[in-house]
Every structure is written in structure tokens, then in C-alpha cells.
Amino acid sequence: MRRALELAALGPAVGDHARVGAVVLSPTGAVLAEGWHKGAGTPHAEVDAMAKVPAEQLRGATAVVTLEPCNHVGRTGPCAVALVEAGVGRVVYAVDDPGEHAHGGADRLRAAGVDVVSGVLADEAEAFLERWLLSVRAGRPWVTVKWASSLDGRAAAADGTSRWITGAAARQHVHEQRAAHDAILVGTGTVLADDPSLTARGDAGELLADQPLPVVVGDRPVPDAAAVRRHPRGVLTLPGHDLAASLRTLRDHGVHSVFVEGGPTVASALIAAGLVDEVLVYLAPVLLGGPRVAIGDVGVGSIGERHQLDVTSTTSLGPDLLVRARPHRARTGTARPTDGATPTAAAAGADQAQNDRSTP
């Protein structure tokens, strides 16, 4: 199973699919073949592995796969059926498929007389698939909120200037994070004030292979001449009055992870609504003072209502420090809204470009 997880990591990190790996073993335990899912429309991991094995050797073989074999017809046929028809005698998997239509493969295999074992290295597989699993279970993308600030929590100087608070290494890391998410989200205010292109680029300014879908939320129109209009993937605009609904819309577009960069209003509204799964804060060793704070009202009226975070890592990026944190699992104080809450962000379009931006 651990080898299957290694194989799963070879698949594309973004896109409307889970990264899955598989290993096919003979009845004596010898490795017959390995496979992984290479992207939407390609064979699933177990089918990819079985295609490399002569049909007669699959009779009574064991398939070890990181995710429960699917039980539906999508771009490809049901993997559970393929395993049964191949004569595989045993299937071992890590995590149940939470998909409304895809789950049930294990039951189908058992009904056909296949020995099924589940939950092997489940914790490791859950951690590996956490973004995809969250998006399927919650019906919305995994949400990463990013901001850059001075050590005293300011995202811009008093006159509004903010380029650049952080150094080149931190800004390049932001580009890499953009490429590692399916979409990048900002408010219309950021587009009007900063005119970012919202592309992911390398050190030399070249476009990276993986480009996030640019998403602009707010009630003001995006100008025809805006740089984001020239994004290689086009631009998706969504109303800003209901961020929970906008996230569900993104999930319907096949977006499993979104990188939020667009100003304190949108970021604060998402945090207040309990819709944020990870926070990336790029801290520069400078002091700015003044009113231009990186995060605004997050719905905290007293210390008991605070949003508790768990710091998962700190990383030095040149002179700057990246703090990566996640909402504490056992929140203190008053309960926060759930994923079904309806946060309002009517002011999303009023976002000022107070986040330190990568090359716009």
C-alpha cells in the first residue's frame, strides 16, 4: 500500500480527479505490475496496472489500491467490474470513495465473491488525498487563504503602497502555490486596483505548465481591458454576496482546491464563515504601522470566540518567514458556521489590493 501511495503521487496534482496508485500481486505475493491514474479520461490506477499483466496471471491475483475501486460509468467504466471480469481474487484498499455515484465498489466486489480488505494505511491515504476528499465530502473546494504582511500585521503602508513587502523567494513560492491549486480567487476590488494577471509563473517570468483557473467574485464588472481577461484559461466571474454558494459553483466546475489571494474582505469573510482549510502567511521582517491591516473583521467579538489555528510548519524564504496553519480541530469558544452557512461578502468588490502580490 505504501508503494501504491508513492505511485499515486506521480499523477497530476490538480484537476477533477483523485490521485490513485495500484499494485497487482500474484497469489504468492510477487509484484506483477504497477499503475497510477494519469489524469481525467485515462484508465484508473487498477485498470492501468492490470493492462500490463497477461490475462491468465490475473486469475486469483491481489490488487492493492489507495482508493476504493469506483462503481460508476464516467469517462471510463467501473473499476469494480473490471476487477471482477479479470478474475482478481482479492482487493485491498485504503480509503472508501465518498463520491455519491462512485462509491459502492467494495460491495460490488464482495457480491461477486472477491475478498475485500479496507482501511490499510487509511490515515496516510487520507492525508495524501485530503484536498480531494474534502471537496467531495463537503461539496466545495479545499480553500487556502494567503496573505503577506509586515511583522505588525500590515499588508501595505499608510498610503496604500505594498509592492514589495516580501522578497523574491517568497513571491516565487506564491507562484508555485498558485500552480498547485485548481483555481485562484480574488475580489473585483483587487482586479480594479491592482490589475493582476493571476497566472502562475517561473523565475524568468515564464508561464508554468499548470495554470489555475482565475476566479473573480464581486458585483462590479471586470473591465474588458483587465489583464485577467487575457489569462490562458479565461476568467470565471461569480457574485460576491454568497461565498458559500460561489464555492459550490466552483466545485461544480471541477475545482477541488482554490487559492485565495484577493484582499482582506474576501479572506476575512471566508475565515468568519469557517470556510477556510489552510492559511499561508508570508511575514516580512519590517514594521509598517498604520491602518492597512492584512485581515479585517472575522466575526470575533471576544477572546472566547477567537479562531484557533494549529501551526503545521514554518519555512524561511530568504529574509521572510512562511507560516502555514490550519483551523484547530476542537475550536474554542462559540461554534463557528459550518460549510452550509451563507457568509455575505457584499463588500468583496471593495477589496483593496492590500495583499502583497506576486508579479501581477
Cite the active site residues. 46
Distance (Å, whole) CA 217 – CA 261: 12
Identity at 210, one-letter amino acid code: D
Contacts of 58 (CB under 8 A, 6+ apart): 24, 32, 50, 86, 87, 88
Contact 129, 15 (CB under 8 A): no
Contact 342, 322 (CB under 8 A): no
Q: Where are the alpha helices (DSSP H) in the chain?
A: 2-8, 45-50, 55-58, 79-86, 105-111, 122-128, 130-138, 168-179, 188-194, 243-252, 264-272
The bridge status of strand 236-238 relative to strand 213-217 is: parallel
Distance (Å, whole) CA 111 – CA 199: 49
Contact 93, 106 (CB under 8 A): yes
The CB-side HSE value for 29 (13 A sphere, CA atoms) comes to 1
The bridge status of strand 115-117 relative to strand 90-95 is: parallel
Strands of the 21-25 sheet, one edge to the other? 31-36, 21-25, 62-67, 90-95, 115-117
